[in-house]
């Protein structure tokens, strides 16, 4: 939330009334997306990681 990539959009009606989050336009712009459906599917991500292990190092650098 500090980087404005997500925002609180409401509360769920389930027990505890947890917060519901949604992505922002800043999220889309930061990742070069026009819409959330442009994100790769989980299967595609797994295939990319298997074929390009150096991406794990790049991801770890963001932690």
Q: What confidence tens digit (pLDDT) does each residue in 41-63 have?
A: 999 988 887 888 787 777 777 76
Tens-place pLDDT, residues 4-54: 999 999 999 999 999 999 999 999 999 999 999 999 999 998 888 788 878
Is residue 45, in this structure, part of any structural domain at all? Answer: yes
Query: In this structure, is residue 1 part of a structural domain?
Result: no
**What pLDDT, on the 0 to 100 scale, is given for residue 25?**
96
pLDDT at 15: 97
Q: What is the 3-state secondary structure (H, E, C) of 1-63?
A: CCCCCEEEEEECCCCCCCEEEEECHHHHHHCCCCCHHHCCCHHHHHHHHHHCCHHHHHHHHCC
Q: Domain containing 36: what range? A: 6-61
**What is the number of domains present in the chain?**
1
48-54, long-range: CB < 8 A, 24+ apart: none
């Amino acid at each position: 939330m500090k980087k404005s990539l997500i925002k609180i959009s409401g509360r769920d009606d389930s027990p505890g009334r947890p917060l519901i989050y949604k992505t922002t336009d800043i999220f889309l712009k930061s990742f070069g997306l026009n819409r959330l459906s442009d994100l790769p599917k989980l299967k595609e991500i797994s295939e990319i990681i298997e074929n390009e292990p150096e991406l794990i190092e790049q991801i770890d650098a963001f932690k």
